């Protein structure tokens, strides 16, 4: 779907104040924006900038919220690198980059260490039958092996949850303590 079509419908079916800012050039069959308040072209630039995020956005999963937050933090960091005018801009860039890195880790959700378990026990196969999941492994041969494997698997699940929670807490602490300093 071409962006011109989206912009056209955005402004036609938008609010009445938006419609009042449009001028139609019927000779060329295109819409021109009257930039009376200076914000209409900025709106179009923002839609273009956010388009990669907007076209993938969904409302049903936290992953998309994290993607929006990461995108915004990255754009703010880029702004401070290129246009930051106050003395603390480099510190703000560092804080924004750190927060973005933590969100990236939450998005990737790679906290479970499959390699360590895989090196010792081989690949894990999960089978779901009648709504019940069972884990099987080619190196688990005896009942004792099975107990040990399940104990190690459960311990790694717990560790992965702890790593995820620590990453989220680190991000929230940065956000809570640094947010009001991220301006130019």
How would you write the pLDDT of the chain (184 residues) with one tens digit per residue?
A: 455 555 555 555 444 444 444 444 444 444 445 445 566 788 888 889 899 888 888 888 899 999 999 999 999 999 888 887 777 788 999 999 999 999 999 999 999 888 888 888 888 888 888 888 887 777 888 888 888 888 988 999 999 999 999 999 999 999 999 998 888 6
Dig out the tokens for 122 from the structure: 């081989």
Counting other chains too, the contacts that 99-103 makes at CB distance below 8 Å and 24 or more residues apart are 99/73, 99/171, 99/174, 99/175, 99/178, 100/70, 100/73, 100/74, 102/167, 102/168, 102/170, 102/171, 102/174, 103/66, 103/69, 103/70, 103/73, 103/171
For the chain, domain boundaries: 1-55, 61-184
Determine the Cα–Cα distance for residues 63 and 158; give it in Å rounded to an integer. Answer: 21
């Amino acid at each position: 779907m071409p962006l011109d079509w989206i912009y056209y419908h955005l402004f036609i079916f938008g609010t009445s104040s938006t419609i009042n800012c449009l001028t139609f050039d019927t000779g060329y069959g295109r819409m021109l924006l009257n930039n009376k308040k200076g914000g209409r072209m900025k709106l179009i630039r923002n839609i273009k900038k956010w388009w990669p995020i907007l076209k993938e956005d969904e409302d049903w999963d936290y992953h998309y919220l994290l993607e929006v937050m990461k995108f915004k933090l990255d754009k703010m960091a880029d702004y401070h690198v290129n246009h930051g005018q106050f003395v603390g801009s480099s510190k703000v860039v560092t804080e924004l980059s750190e927060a973005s890195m933590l969100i990236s880790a939450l998005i990737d959700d790679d906290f479970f260490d499959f390699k360590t378990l895989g090196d010792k026990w081989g690949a894990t196969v999960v089978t779901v039958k009648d709504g019940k999941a069972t884990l099987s492994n080619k190196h688990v041969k005896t009942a004792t092996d099975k107990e040990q494997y399940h104990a190690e698997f459960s311990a790694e699940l717990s560790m992965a949850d702890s790593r995820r929670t620590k990453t989220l807490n680190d991000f929230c602490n940065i956000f809570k303590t640094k947010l009001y300093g991220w301006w130019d």
